[in-house]
A and B are shown apart, each in its own frame.
Chain A
Amino acid sequence: MDTAYSATHRPETFREETFRGDFSYANSPENIRHFPFPFHEDHYRYSVNIEPHVPGLPGSAFEHLIDVDEHYVAEMADRAQVLAEDPLRYQALPHMMLAQWDTLELLMEEQARAYPHLFTLTRNGDQWRWINRPLGIDDTFTFGDRSTLPREPLDYICRQTQGDIALMDQRDGNLWMDAGMITAQADWSLDFDVGMNFHEWHAPVPLAPQMGVFDRALKYLLNLQLGKPVRRLNWTMTINPRLDTSPENYPKWGPDRTTVTPENVGQKVHLRVELQSLWRLPRSNGMLFVIRGYMMRMDEVVTVPKWGRRLPRVLETLPEELATYKGLSRYRQTTIDWLKRHDDGAPTSPGIFPD
């Protein structure tokens, strides 16, 4: 086992940084190795790549099922700002209240279990006390009683959890996106998708529907079992470390894609990875979808030699339709050219983790 991962991931301090304006976001060396690099081989291959969401390599983003890292406080501040400007980033249809409580319980339990130095959940029957030290929160409430929390339960807990969150209702042999808080999305909109079913919200994805990918994935997810969550990795690229790349704000971030030059690739181009996990919810029989995002600029990627070699090789083999869908077309070649300077052609080891 790699010695760099011998220490358990246990964030103690949180970076003061921004995801807009001066874009001061950056990863510490430890957090670079914590990053869930999504490519396990040197060429691109489309796959649903679903696997059990079980605790993984210590120190990695997979160590804890709900991952908290050095960006927690800054991400929550950015989320609050997005919500203040656009309240529709949080929506919950009325029949999702039970699923909201299920989600609050799950996210509190997982975070308190993984990071007891940051979070404490104390339960006495329906009387719960929740302490969130990084955000300075200490609230007592009655589980199941909306009036005892300052906000709806989903709204409340999503403001204290890294990652976008969608709640799905399961009925009529389909999944329906009926609630969520989406503030750090890769160009999709909850306000647009809310109320849609699995096939409807996936309709824009190229190639995959023809391969029957979504029919199979839906069938699989409908039988997702309580206590056996699953995960997959998804990825794209973002210019500047901007969390809020929403369709609503396209005029703010779309033009960034024209600003990439051979000189600024290392600083501006970010690999953006989503560690997506899916959980059956107990009382509502709904499903929780956590889209936990990570960003790492090219300068940081190449500090891990294996990733610096692999990333340009993968980008070269990405089909044009997918490059277009992910919005990479304008700067893909510039990025490959820059990364190639860090690829000495040596073979890479299997798997996603650093050597």
Chain B
Amino acid sequence: MKGDLQMRVTALHDEAAGIRRVRLEPVDGGALPAFSGGAHVVVAMQDGGVTRRNPYSLCCDPDDRTGYEIAVARAATSRGGSAFIHERLAVGDVLVVGAPTNLFSPDWRAKKHIMVAGGIGITPFVAMMAQFARAGLAFELHYAVRSRAAAAFAGVLQDRYGPRVKIYAADEGARLPLAALVENQPLGTHLYTCGPERLMGAVLDTARNAGWPEQALHSEHFMAPPPGDPFTVTLAESGREVAVGPDQSLLEALEAAGVNPRYLCRGGVCGECATKVVEFRGTILHADHFLTPEERAESRTIMICMSRFSGDRLVLNL
């Protein structure tokens, strides 16, 4: 897309067991745009004949204009992106990186920012905390990990921010004290969570039950399209049929076929790739966080970056 940056891998570092940090610097040497904490970029990777485009949160100082950094966990069942980054990406390789986009922005009105991270969900908070600290804002991070060995950024964050960073390692028997966390916070406190769905659900439920207003609660879902059974989509404009493989999203299959629909987050959050369903016989397997329950039931729109289809005919307005 226009505005994409050619960036070279200048460092690869194992931040923790199974988590690789990648530093990217612009090939032309110019200054990068600053960004806001919580922003992600879509990284395009040439893996053999396949172009993989995955969104990753930026986990560096937003005011460092010399490079961007992402951290990628090795997925147990990788669709390709994480395996590529862990096994084949090398220093010197060039990747195409989109402009930073933020769907998990801090609320700058907050009197205090409380962040609750689980595992690789730490990444957006690394950038947020750099901004909070620079602006002199009150914040704390509560970080749940399997073990200290698996806790990416834990050491550097504790060095930078001291007691404002609290680590809870499961193998030491530590648990997030959620009920205590949401109690007795100053009016105007905002709560942010990123991590496994179960952890985020527990955080948000605890806060809601304690009477927190919805506007003070922020969460970012992990954004990987779910695998599933293969299916075929028909394009209304050309009548062309495109096959979607089990590990491919609808958007990826269309791109591989030379169709280039609009997209932004590739995680079912922003709504940019909303596509009209002209006709279908079967079930649309909605997997986004954008459509309302009513819109899902109607199935006149599908978010092609995340959702799949089961049935014998799906025609999209493309």
Contact = CB atoms under 8 A, between A and B. Distances in A.
A binds B: yes
Interface of A: 95-99, 102, 144, 169-172, 219, 223, 225-228, 282-285
A13 to B, nearest CB: 33
B215 A285 contact: no
A282 B271 contact: no
A95 B271 CA distance: 27
B102 A228 contact: no
A219 B102 CA distance: 15
A95 B108 contact: yes
Interface centre among B39, B99, B108, B271 (most CB of A within 10 A): B108
B121 interface: no
B63 interface: yes
B124 to A, nearest CB: 12
Given A171-B107, A227-B3, A285 B39 contact: yes
A190 B284 CA distance: 46
A95 B109 contact: yes
B157 to A, nearest CB: 20
A303 B14 CA distance: 68
B101 A225 contact: yes
Contacts of A227: 3, 33, 99
A90 B49 CA distance: 55
B263 to A, nearest CB: 10
Interface string B96-109: 00011110010111
Contact of A226 (B100, B107, B134): B100
B34 interface: yes
Nearest to B105: A285
A130 B36 CA distance: 25
Interface string B12-38: 000000000000000000000111101
A284 B62 CA distance: 10
Contacts, number: 58
A6 B115 CA distance: 56
5 contacts: A219-B271, A227-B3, A282-B33, A282-B36, A285-B36
Given A228-B99, A283-B131, A285-B105, 12 more contacts: A95-B108, A97-B135, A98-B135, A102-B34, A226-B100, A227-B99, A282-B33, A282-B35, A282-B62, A282-B100, A285-B36, A285-B39
B271 A228 contact: no
B270 interface: yes
A148 to B, nearest CB: 15
A144 B3 CA distance: 26
A225 B36 contact: no
Contact of A283 (B36, B99, B215): B36
B264 interface: yes
B140 interface: no
Contacts of A228: 2-3, 99
B247 interface: no
Contacts of A284: 36, 108
A170 B270 CA distance: 13
B264 A170 contact: no
Nearest to B104: A285
A225 B270 contact: no
B135 A172 contact: no
Contacts of A170: 105
A7 B174 CA distance: 70
A226 B33 CA distance: 8
Interface string B272-304: 100000000000000000000000000000000
A282 B63 CA distance: 10
A144 B131 CA distance: 11
A283 B271 contact: no
